[in-house]
Structure 1
């Protein structure tokens, strides 16, 4: 299909249908909704014209109200603006649903071929099939769901979207109209901040309604297509879960909430099993299966509706009885309905009694604090606290790895108590769901080998035994400096006698997490990408030297500025120098709902990742393994980009600009997450304390998206001026990794619009700073278009470009309202009540802008 045809299909199936169904809002039986919907097109056009003319938001808003006599009073104007926000929020939902319903029809521009095509080629090529089968024997994709708030739809709205998608596929106008009425009545905001358990319950919707069906279905499909015996293939699709376990910077996560989430995940899984089992029992009414079915009936029902406080792992019992039923059907009843039993066997084999692995994460500083507390409280440890606090070498040498339990006082620091309680709780979670229920402890901000060795000792001081330590210790390297030290840290660990023995007991496998978000905030877009890539090469070389099976776990958010974008292309282009036997990554916010929100989209995106992992090993492109010269060129460019970004960070107006002109302060007023907007809440804002999500979100609300491009143009210009342009051009054409970096940068820039904030160039305080940002944007755009031989950004991805531009058009009025409210608070003296109203208006606009952005930034 030609590009022009694809664009035509997108226009007909998405844009035209959106306009058609959008008109249904006007038929809703809510008078205020109809009135708002009638005026909105005029308001949107007025905003577009004002932005084109570079007007300030207050001039745009006030000139609009000047045309309508009914909006003389400020109260009436504010009421109208709130109704515009509510209306556009629901338009965004409708656009999401229309676009997702057209998923199969519209197709995709990023066609490296999905899994089915690869299997078809393999069936015609015995040698290729043999390679794929060998790869599948020890390969997996793990998707880890996080509660990071990069999309703000509450659970009921997500359910409406799902139902809308189904109705739109059938063109069921009457049902669509009913769902839009429901949408009109359903609140989009939480009155209170969600708890970690609330966040887990919200994400569990995707586990129950999407991943439960899709993961086992893909596994079954691969088994059949490749004719691989089930016992020879490890679990291909794994799920991970952070809500309730990720306590890094979130004091609201406690051992109690971790326990509640673990129990909830088990209960939800058994309800899924119970629903499937009822179908099995309704069909299998033959003699010879009664005893097994009755036992399973009781087991599934009790675990679904009368769960025990400390259950045991029943996976083996379930499989034993299901296989017994299967044997009876095959041997006595001609295999009638055996496929229903086999489907349930596959699901139980995939999910056991745990559903998804609950990861535990905590910052290294808290773990050190806990270690030091126990040493100080218990002289019998025979450790010199002064020495181990000031000498990394001394601490590595002194840690005794003794196995005896140490107690703590009830008045100890809350985070110390939580750390020790969750270490103890992990035994109970593993008892109820097997080791797979919770087996990883992630150390955030990992800076030295003793961060891991000290945590290992904490487990031994909490009653665990070295030979029974069924825990994987996962260092998380995220800043540019931490990434540069990562290889030295891991070499120390691999050569450490006690840790090396632990790794051996864990199947000689080491998982290392690399965080993208903080490295972007720390070093800028290009340096973050290059630092992670370079660290992967170094870490792979050391792992191979010590014969360790290395697994990279990538902390990649939804937007390109946080490591997202065309993720599967990164994995397909890692080259020979990077371990890629397993793919593990975080998915969050709008990435979950946009890429994994329905069975169709989830299947497509999981299959893309599976294929990327297979292709990267058995059909690697020569250009994906960089030459020494190519590495040198990227390294030099990354340092030029880094210098440019550091100069921006050190600019005296950098944080002040973000705090004053973006809705950064209002993010803390939005009840979207149990996690604080920044670490060290209550203290003066420092960049290192500001969470990457808040950082990226604030720039995206300004439509400037600095974390996704700043410094790239400077580095490309430097390359050209130093006669390296031919190398850069070759990199873009031959290296999948480098091309993906540039293409994702284009996506960030497509979602930028400096015209919206062009009024800032005249600001006495921030005018020059704004122009500096705008100039780097224009420079980056100039060189990226030259590099990609394009006349417009994302020219090679016309459908994605059209989708982005349509969404940007929908939310332009929200941005105008938001900036109007921010400037009103800045420039007018208001009463306390009025200030609260304008702050609320700003907070409300944030929802719609973020939700419309999907891969925001």
Structure 2
């Protein structure tokens, strides 16, 4: 790989930082477990570096022999050393990138693509007026949705230690900038003992996380970074507007909102119940209320304005003085006149007292206690709390304290606008057949055989019931446990909307949606719980229902299903009553697992365009919800480019997408990185939504026709490998640690949809991609691409492909992501995994199919893109991955040895079991080294 001198020079600073952290880790290893472990690590590291420079069969065999001689205890220490090295290298890169961005801002030089300042500047250069930008901002809604999909293998204790090291690294930069040797040594000493604590913290969970653990893990990122970064993102935008559109700089409406599936996603997870959903909402509410309480106390120490000096608004003075005596006693105890001449301060204390009442109610709920009656002082809603904050803000502005109003107070206002009293808006997800069975059982008590009806009759029957006042009395019916549970979920939705916030829940997602009746069934069940129907002849609907289309076949049926839905008069009326917005969710993971990345990407592209046309024809606002994973094979990739590459005209101000697994820790563990990542997403959304204010060029029909053929050829090649090659799945289970991933205690959900069913349809997309990535064969992200491009070039030449790459953001982003996945494939290593298989001839045949397609895909991706080497357009990422290989190589070879021993059926269960812990540790370490694995 060749990189420019500038990139090499820039990378030199980072290499120095990584080297320092590596040296400190070496010192810790030697001091804590002895020189032998350090020597073993160094022997493997240097040996595999040498093999990368020049293959040497003798050296390769000696390293394998060395690994085989190690005890399980020794291997655990060696793997931990490599794992911690990856964590430290990742941190160094993250901190280096943050420092780099700060330097760019200070120098006022060219900024990174997707920065707020650069984006707003581009709008100005393109001739957008203040009205255009203002209209655009009024329509923007950026909605990341946190999920518990288990590809994040780091424990929270580890992440908290890494955060401390990240902050300390910033102190090292300060010391070096000011050339202070004493301070620098202090910082290095601090880094050493922080790394020592990290060394002594177990990186593998000893027990499987419960759903409650997963809920708390999701909330962790808000406390850790998002409460700081969300206001910062608004400040970035306001600063950019101040430079280019000063007249609208302080008129930025709320555009950030966060969703969650954690505690709401019950599809295939028996541990998520209606009680779990209730707990999720309470825990989320508690965490955000604690943040408000803390910030109110901080504000009360800042806003010490005297009413004798400032012309404070009379409403503020009244709210601070005309107060219920019981509330005064609760807040000020025996000092009822406290701060009487400082109305803001006094008012903020009273507001804090009221928030504490909200907290007391939530704590009682979490402890299954009866809340005290004194909660009458609690805020009835986030809107009431927000109104009080705006009252203070307006008063400050009225007496000339704009800068004060727009500082810490404005940050709190932004938090309340974003998080309300609920923190994240919880989506509920359930599989369609569960609703069908519940509806069928309920209707059977009305002597209706629901399952015997055809689709049209089902829709008519469900619509008739929803439009009526008939509620089936279930109190005295002996219903199946699952039906009772389904009904309880809708009751919880109704109760918590009133108890916590009408915004506490986002949408009800139906996975495996095949028919319009699947959506009407959920509306019927919501009607049973009083969430939808007619009141005095007027329709009302307090639930938003989202069909999820996941497989290639489902994506092809998206138009008839939604047309059937929109043609139903009852559904259409209730949709209008709920805001006239239909959310459609698109599943990237299952469609890619099903037909390959090329076919999946194209099916999704077409589905989005088709569904928008249908929605427009019915005059319905449509929002797309993208179910993306962390890896390319599951729809992942850089967020900014992913949004820009969406089909022309389909992004209209709002975008919602899942944030899964290791993506959460990568983006949101540090507030500095979280601000950057959120900004990139928001600017991508603004650029992609320009169709709202300006004309956008249509797609080139020739490009669409080419892509149609590429997708067909790519899918046929992918299916030949995965569906029609004998022994393929046998190899998958024998040669990768896919079964052992299920023992890693990284998620509460089973790895297969059906227990004991090891087929392609049963295995979930996460372990599918995770397993192959561990073996360094990342083909789910690219297999079939080379074949498709080759077939096209044979018939038509490459000119059209080059034009597509240069002119079409979708195709460019697709090939760019594929190049990253190709780069992560290591064929030599992958072959050694395949050699574990019991049928070597069969395994080698499959491996050769993968290897030949890899070579073909690399060749064509380079010739079409014009890149001299893989990832030439992103050299810093290429260098990052290159830097990891000498550390990943020994880990992969350790894992191969461990897999052979653990899967050996000729030894006793007890003998095999001693190798399980180091094997699990190796999975963790390889995941950390590859950054995104599932």
Q: TM-score range with shorter-chain normalisation?
A: over 0.9
Q: In 2, Cα distance between the equivalents of 1:585 and 1:54?
A: 47
Single out whichever of 801-810 and 469-478 deviates more from structure 2: 801-810
Residue aligning to 1:157: 158
CA distance in 1 between partners of 2:649 and 2:399 (Å): 54
CA distance in 2, matches of 1:600, 1:238: 19
Instruction: Check if 1:588 corresponds to 2:590.
Output: no
For residue 642 of structure 2, give the secondary structure of its aligned residue in structure 1.
Answer: helix
* Aligned counterpart in structure 1 of residue 286 of structure 2, from 247, 267, 273: 267
1:351 aligns with 2:425: no
Change (3 A) 1:652 1:624: farther
SS in 1 for 2:655: strand
Structure 2 match to 1:849: 926
CA 1:449–1:828: 2 relative to 1, 3 Å:
closer
Q: Aligned pair 1:89/2:89, yes or no?
A: no
Q: Verify the 8 A CA contact 1:811 1:852 in the aligned structure 2.
A: yes
Task: Tell me which residue corresponds to 2:869.
Answer: 792
Hey, what does 2:19 align to over in structure 1? 19
In the alignment, which residue of structure 2 is the partner of 1:292?
347
Which residue is equivalent to 2:742? 668
CA drift at 1:231: 11
* 1:424-458: CA deviation from partner (whole Å, max 9, x where unpaired): 10122212332221031000111110000011001
Distance 2:472 2:294 in 1: 43
For residues 227 and 56 of structure 1, do their structure 2 counterparts lie closer, same or farther at Cα, with a shift above 3 Å needed? Answer: farther
Partners of 2:842 and 2:127 lie apart in 1 by 68
- Show the counterpart of 1:711: 784
Determine whether 1:446 maps to 2:519.
Answer: no
Measure, in 2, the Cα distance between the counterparts of 1:411 and 1:12: 71
Deviation at 1:234, TM superposition (A): 4.8
Please tell me whether the aligned partners of residues 511 and 552 of structure 1 are also in contact (alpha carbons under 8 angstroms).
Answer: yes
Equivalent residue number for residue 729 of structure 1: 802
**What is the aligned partner in structure 2 of residue 422 from structure 1?**
489
Q: Which moved more, 1:120-129 or 1:236-245?
A: 120-129
1:314-357 Cα shifts (integer Å, max 9, x gaps): 31332233234335545569568433333322322222111110
Report deviation, 1:413.
4.3
Distance in structure 2 (CA, Å) of the matches to 1:728 and 1:692:
30
Cα deviations by residue, 1:629-688 (Å, 9 ceiling, x for unpaired): 21111011100010011111222211101000000111111111001111122x231211
Q: Sort the Cα spacing of 1:299 and 1:3 in 2 relative to 1 into closer, same or farther, 3 A.
A: farther
How many angstroms apart in 2 are the aligned matches of 1:150 and 1:838?
A: 22
The one of 388, 396, 407 equivalent to 2:459 is 396
Contact 2:116 2:237 in 1 (8 A): no
Distance change in 2, residues 1:110/1:708 (3 Å): farther
Check the 8 A contact 1:146/1:242 in 2, yes or no.
yes
Q: 1:125 to 1:702 in 2, by over 3 A?
A: closer
**Further displaced range: 421-430 or 280-289:** 280-289
Task: Give the superposition deviation at 1:737.
Answer: 0.5
| Structure 1 residue 208, shift from structure 2 partner | 2.0
Matched, 1:657 2:739: no
Q: Distance in 2 between matches of 1:144 and 1:521?
A: 22
Q: Match of 1:600, SS?
A: helix
Q: 2:432, 2:784 → 1: CA distance?
A: 31
- Cα distance in 2 for partners of 1:623, 1:53 equals 53
Of the three residues 334, 338, 361, the one matched with 2:429 is 361
What is the CA-CA distance between 1:826 and the residue it aligns to? 4.5
Aligned match of 1:814: 891
The CA distance in 1 between the partners of 2:757 and 2:891, in whole Å, is 29
1:41 & 1:622 partners in 2: Cα distance?
A: 59
Residues 549-600 of structure 1, C-alpha deviations (whole Å, 9 max, x = no match) = 1111101111111111123213223354424321211112221222233222
Conserved? CA contact 1:476–1:512, under 8 Å: yes
Partner of 1:802: 879
1-side partners of 2:474 and 2:38: how far apart?
64
Which deviates further from its counterpart, 616-625 or 403-412? 616-625
8 Å contact kept, 2:207–2:745: yes
Q: Which runs of 5+ in 2 are unaligned?
A: 105-109, 173-186, 307-340, 366-370, 534-538
**What is the Cα deviation at residue 228 of structure 1?**
7.5
The reply to whether residue 744 of structure 1 matches residue 817 of structure 2 is yes
- Given that 1:750 and 1:793 are in contact with CA atoms closer than 8 Å, whether structure 2 keeps it comes out as yes
Query: C-alpha distance in 2, partners of 1:561/1:55?
Result: 33
3-state SS of 2:257 partner: strand
**Deviations 1:25-46 (Å, cap 9, x if unpaired)?**
2322743165322321211233
Alignment of 1:456 with 2:457, yes or no, is no
**Aligned partners of 2:568 and 2:681: how far apart in 1?**
34
Does the CA contact (< 8 Å) of 2:259 and 2:506 recur in 1? no
Closer/same/farther in 2, CA of residues 155 and 405 from structure 1, 3 Å limit:
farther
Gap change, CA 1:86 and 1:542, over 3 Å in 2: same
After TM superposition, give the deviation of residue 855 of structure 1 in Å: 2.7
Structure with greater Cα Rg = 2
Match of 2:718 in 1: 645
Give the counterpart of 2:860 among 760, 768, 783: 783
* CA–CA distance in structure 1, aligned partners of residues 597 and 916 of structure 2: 31
Distance, in Å, in 2 between the alignment partners of 1:319 and 1:65 is 61
Match of 2:390 in 1: 323
| 1:821 Cα deviation from its structure 2 partner | 1.4
For residues 409 and 704 of structure 2, the distance between their equivalents in structure 1, rounded to whole angstroms, comes to 53
Alpha-carbon separation, structure 2, partners of 1:387 and 1:35: 71
Give, in whole Å, the separation in 2 of the partners of 1:438 and 1:774: 47
SS at match of 2:624: strand
SS where residue 767 of structure 2 aligns?
helix
Indicate if the aligned counterparts of 2:630 and 2:637 stay in contact, CA closer than 8 A: yes
Task: Give the SS at the match of 1:435.
Answer: coil
Match of 2:684 among 612, 625, 628: 612
Rounded to whole Å, the distance in 2 between the matches of 1:721 and 1:735 is 22
Q: Which runs of 5+ in 1 are unaligned?
A: none
Once residues 913 and 742 of structure 2 are traced to their aligned partners in structure 1, the CA distance between those partners, rounded to angstroms, is 14
The 1:537–1:178 alpha-carbon spacing in structure 2 relative to 1, beyond 3 Å, is same
Deviations 1:275-322 (A, max 9, x none): 211111112334233652232121223334663428874313322332
Report if aligned partners of 1:760, 1:770 keep a CA contact under 8 Å in 2: no
**C-alpha distance in 2 between matches for 1:768 and 1:110:** 49
**Counterpart selection for 1:64 from 39, 63, 66:** 66
Larger mean CA deviation between 656-665 and 334-343 belongs to 334-343
Alignment of 1:368-407 (within 5 A): 368-376=436-444, 378-379=445-446, 383-388=448-453, 391-399=454-462, 400-401=465-466, 402-403=468-469, 404-407=471-474
After superposition, the Cα gap between the structure-2 partners of 1:605 and 1:135, relative to the gap in structure 1 and judged at 3 Å, is same
1:116 is displaced (CA, Å) by 1.2
SS in 2 for 1:522: helix
Equivalents in 2 of 1:410, 1:182: separation in Å? 58
Query: Hey, what does 2:323 align to over in structure 1?
Result: none
Of 559-568 and 321-330, deviating more is 321-330
Give the aligned partner of residue 333 of structure 2: none
d(CA) in 2 for partners of 1:603, 1:356: 18
- Contact preservation (8 Å) 1:574, 1:624: no
* Aligned equivalents of 2:695, 2:858: Cα separation in 1: 29
